[in-house]
Amino acid sequence: RKMASKISVVLRPVKSIVVRFCPFETNVESTRKFLQCINHKKIQATNRNCEVTADVRHDGSEPVVDVKFADGDRLIMKGANLTTVEMLRALGSRCSAKDIKEEQKSKKKSH
Measured between alpha carbons, how far is 68 from 74 in angstroms, rounded to an integer?
A: 5
Q: 23 to 42, contacts with other proteins by CB under 8 A? A: 23-26, 28-29, 32-33, 35-36, 38-41
Q: At closest approach, how far in Å is the CB of 53 from other proteins?
A: 8
Q: Report the nearest approach of other proteins to the CB of residue 107 (Å).
A: 36
| Cα–Cα distance for residue pair 70/29, rounded to 1 Å | 28
Asked if 8 is part of the footprint of other proteins (rule: CB under 8 A), the reply reads no
Q: What residues make contact with other proteins under the rule CB under 8 A?
A: 23-26, 28-29, 32-33, 35-36, 38-41, 52-54, 56-58
